[in-house]
Structure 1
Amino acid sequence: EWVTGYGWSEDAFAELRKPTRADLDEAAPRNPVTLTRAGAHSAVVNSLAFELAGITKDTPDPEGGILEKNERGELNGIIRERQGIVGRLVPRATLEETRPSFIQNLRDLLELGITSLAQAGVSTRGYEEWEVVYAEHGEELPRANVQIRWGGPERMDAFGKKTGDGDERLRVGAVKVFVDGGFTGPSAYTIDSYRSEPGFRGSLALPEEELRTTIQQAHEMGWQMGFHAIGDAAIQLTVDYFVEALEASPRENHRHYLNHFTVRPPPEVMELMGEHNILITQQPNFTYTLEGRYVEYLEEEHAAYNNPLRSPMDHDVFVALSSDILPIGPMVGIYAAVTRKGESGTVYAPGERLTMEEAVRGYTRNGAYITFEEDIKGTLEAGKLADMIVLSDDLLTIDPERILDIVIEKTIVGGRVVFER
């Protein structure tokens, strides 16, 4: 019987290190084990899991991924980005088995003050499960904009829906593609070598020509594109191909965007983004929770300018804010956006700070703009959806150092109280 889990981080362990194959072998010698790291860019597995997958120390790295080895050349248990080479063996739970926890997870977001979410990528078939859940429970859940993983022109045509289809509770979002990995792997694709691994620059999650073709096809088919790009090399490459597609086939109001934008790219890349209205969804909370990864892997300037906010805005790039999962609630992100502080208290590139008003807009009005919904939500105005939260303190007047103490007192969606403390 498989043992699976999710959410570990080396920062949470007393030893401040990743778990290893040997650790899991000792804990579960008779069961195959796979434990996914928070962020989902790597996993640790035990020897039995490797054995069942037919993976040895001589197995080549999977395309777009890495099988980590120790100083003796033996597998240490960490798989970066391509965890599916083992995960494919884990028996899948049925939708009936997972649906109750799926619904509860969505309900839990209301307690965090989330009235709308953007789900970063499901299959066309997976979207059908969202439709089933929202048809029955939509009135009691946050509104959802669901990004669809690119499956090629034929599958996307067969899906029969495009960006914006749906209703005020559930809509189809952008096409989602992973251009590179992340720093929890680490595998983000960077221009310069990693500070901790000379000569290593991460990797693309797909071949460069496939990325180019995907962008051309998705753009021609009329989809909005929201692509995961963390390293500056991944950002630069994606922007170049976005621009190529837009110049070959101009489209007004396309609202293509990059999700994450962690390593600040060269100024000319941001200039291109401003000129071609390529947007960003940024996660300032990563500055707080992932500072250790940036300091470990990036040279000093890149580490300081992690998750830049002011720089792209100074190049006329539209920036919306979101949370991802580290953590999901918005208060840590607002705190990091206005202070540029990590969890250690270190301040990173203070010139990247936002004002409180800008940070709040980033999580409200600007998020609605990314999903083409600014006419119905994102601000409190007559005729718009009555989605709002009540806080224990006034964000606009509170000492920024107290933002993390703010409590969500009430969450209202469509004029209905869906959470009250």
Structure 2
Amino acid sequence: MKKRSNGEGASGWVTRNGKQYWRILISLGTDPLTGKTIRKAIYGKTQKEAKQKLKEFQKNNASSSDSSTLGSFCYNWLWNVKRQELKASTFEKWEGIYRNYILINKGLNDKKLVDIDTLYLQKITNSLLKNHTVSQVKTLNNILRSCFKYAIVTNKINNNPVDGIVYPKNYEVIQKKENYISESAQKELIKALRGDSLEGIILIGLLCGLRLGEAMALQEQDIDFANKIITVNKSVKYVWTGERNSNNQKIYENKVTVPKTQKSIRIIPLPTILVPILKAIIKKNKSNKLKYGDLYYDNNLIFCKEYGNYIDNKQPNRHLKSALKKAKITTDLHYHSLRHIFITNCISQDISLKTIMDWVGHADTKTTMMIYAEFNKDKNMKEYSKINAMFE
């Protein structure tokens, strides 16, 4: 017998009725009564013909005897395959979807992979849509699509049952979320932030367009006061480690990562207003380092707690809300809104699209152009007032 190829059993030339055939022996599982391996022989006049017949057989009969359930397969796929390639935050999201949508749903968890087809998943989808949004169900199905894709690679199934699922068209009017406040309101916000312990990190979002994780990861060496520039080359996220404590609660940690795109590594001008604020923060950090000695977490962070460790990633939003209230600004902003405001400010000052993209780290024009289009709607309406004025 010849060494087997990928997906084949033992193979070699055999004689049947005085003629030679290339035979491939494959295993179809175990007989539940005898415990013996069930084998099938595939014959061809040539190796090529036998392999083609094997391929056709696998296509038509693959995994018919496989007893893997979606729940067990998805669990092993998540923890042993996807965990290696997903960001920690993405893995936590996917693992949560597995627990909340698959594990507790017997129609998914206990169903054999080989028994799941598109129509079956469509019925599951329709049922879920009664109590969930289209977006939530699409997220689940996108994860299932990736899972079934791996099942195809491992010869568990032949086709991806997620392909072909349809969703209802949503004609509901989507309420536009306000992400901008006027220049005068921005100035009032800056006044309201004076003396706030998180003034610096909020202003760096407003005046430089940094993402929260990028701002939290900033270190002293990233600020060049002489040349008035900020280097952005990392980000931090508070993510699940994949472990649980004795009370079955998830254990989290701050994890520093490099940006997912090369464009996110960038240099941004340092606003003059931020110089004394950042210098005061750095001075205070150095004082705390001397004060606490070995108790100080020397991560060289700019925005940190008294002992040098990372701030709570929810705090900047809380302090922003407080400052908005103090400034009597009713628009409901969150930290990422500051980035939107920064981009809009750049557009209003006729800064080139390429420069804006470089400053905020956008890999393509799509996101920047969406904000640009929003800004221009108002600008264009104001321009049209010149036409109205001609006939008044």
| Larger strand proportion of the pair | 1
**TM-score when scaled to structure 1?**
0.22
**TM-score when scaled to structure 2?**
0.23
| Larger helix proportion of the pair | 2
- Relative contact order, higher structure (CA 8 A, sep 6+): 2
Give 1 or 2 for the bigger CA radius of gyration: 2
